[in-house]
Chain A
Amino acid sequence: MGDTSLGSAVQSFAAQMATFQAMLLAASAVHKAVRWTHSRNLMRQFAGVPGVLAGTSLGVATVVELAAGALLIVPAYRTSGAALAAFIWTLYLALIVRAIVEGRRDVDCGCSFGPTSRPLGSFQIVRNLVLTALAVFIAWVSAFGGTVPAQGTFVLGGFALLALYGALDHVMALQPLRSGELI
C-alpha cells in the first residue's frame, strides 16, 4: 500500500465526506420536491419569503441543492460544490438563528426529515455548524491538497453516514424528558 501517507488519507476522508454531503443535499432536494406544498408554506412561514415568490424560491433552493450535490461528486468541481454547500448550510443556519432570536422556536423549519417534538435550539445550530465546517474542509482540501475520485466504498460509506444522520435526526425529534435523575 503505497498511498498511506497523511495527505492521501486526508484526500480520501474529504472525498468520503463529499459523497456524504452530496447524498444529504440530494435527499434534502428530494424531500422538498416530494412535499412541495408543505415546503412552499415553510418558505413563507419560516424563511419569510413573500407568498408570490415562495414557489420560485423553493424551486431555486431545490436546484441549488442538487447542483451542489452533483458538483461535490465530480473531483474537478468539488471545490465549487463544497463552497456552494457551505453557503447553503450557512444560509439555513442564519435562518434558524434568526428564528430563535425572534422567539419563534416552535416554528417548523423543515430542516429535519419529519415532524419534531422539539423546538429549535442548540442541536440545529451545532448540526449546521458541523455541516458547514465539513463543507469548508472539503473545499480547502480540494483546492490545496488535490482530489481523489469517489470509489465504490465511498458511496457505501455515504449511505451509512446518511443512515446515521437520519437516526440522529429521528432521535432528536423525540419528545424530550424533563431533567432530573432517573428512578
Chain B
Amino acid sequence: MSFLIASQIALWIGLLVLGVVCMALARQIGVLHQRIAPAGALSLRQPLKVGDPTPEMTLTALDGSTVQIGGRAGRAQLLLFLSPDCKICDALLPAVRSAQGAERQWLDIVLASDGASYAHAEFVREKNLSKFPYVVSEHLGRSYGVAKLPYAVLIDEAGKLSSTGLVNTREHLESLFVAKETGVSNIQQFLGQVKPRRASAGE
C-alpha cells in the first residue's frame, strides 16, 4: 500500500516536471518565433508591381500542351523560374512538390526557364517533374524581370501580380502564399510595418 502511494506520488511529480518542461520548451519556441525575423522572398526590382495586371500569354510546354500564363484564369498561378544548372533550384523541388499538393485547391504551379529545350527535357526526366507544366520562354522571364534563380511569381485569380521574389527555401516559397493571404506584398514591406510583439507564450 505504501509502495503504491509512493509510486503514485513519484508519477505525479514526474508528470508535473514533464508539464513544466513542455511549457518551458513551448515558451522558448514562441520567443524564438518572435526574435527571428520572418523568412520571406526577397523582392527585386521588376517591371511589374504588385497589383498590376499580368500579361496574358499562351505558351507551349515541353510536353506539347498549351499553357496559359496570366489573365483571368479563375485560379491562382505560381510561376517558378528555375534552371537545370541551379543547385538551389534542385533543393527547392521537394518544397514545390509539397506545395502543389497542399495548395492544390486554389493554385496551379508552372515551371519556367529559358535556353535549350533538350537540357530542360532531360532535367524534367531526371527530377521527375512531368506533373508540372514546364515552359521554356525567354520572353516570359523578361516580362517579369527575372534576373536571379530560383525566382517565383504568384498571380492571383484575377490575373494580377500578387507577390514575387527570390525563393531559396520552403519558407521563402510559402511567404508568397502568406503575402497573398495577408495583403502584404513582400518581406521588405512586412519588416517595415511589423511591430515588436510579446512572445506568444510570455506576458
Contacts and interface: CB of A to CB of B under 8 A. Distances in A.
B105 to A, nearest CB: 11
B200 A160 contact: no
Interface stretch (B1-9, B44-52, B113-121, B145-153): B1-9
Nearest to A179: B102
B177 A160 contact: no
Interface residues of A, number: 30
A8 B174 CA distance: 54
A142 interface: no
Contacts of B57: none
A156 B13 contact: yes
A183 B98 CA distance: 8
Contact of B22 (A1, A115, A157, A167): A167
Interface residues of B, number: 37
Interface stretch (A39-47, A86-94, A169-177): A169-177
A13 to B, nearest CB: 13
A132 B23 CA distance: 24
Contacts of A173: 26, 30, 200-201
B197 interface: yes
B9 A153 contact: yes
Contacts of B178: 178
A163 B102 contact: no
B67 interface: no
A178 B174 contact: yes
B98 A174 contact: no
A180 B99 contact: yes
Interface of B: 1, 4-5, 8-9, 12-13, 15-16, 18-20, 22-23, 26-27, 29-30, 33, 94-95, 98-99, 101-103, 170, 174, 177-178, 197-203
30 contacts: A113-B203, A114-B203, A115-B199, A116-B200, A117-B33, A153-B8, A156-B9, A156-B12, A160-B12, A160-B13, A160-B16, A163-B15, A163-B16, A163-B23, A164-B19, A164-B22, A166-B23, A167-B20, A167-B23, A170-B22, A170-B23, A171-B22, A173-B30, A173-B200, A174-B26, A174-B30, A175-B33, A178-B102, A181-B94, A181-B98
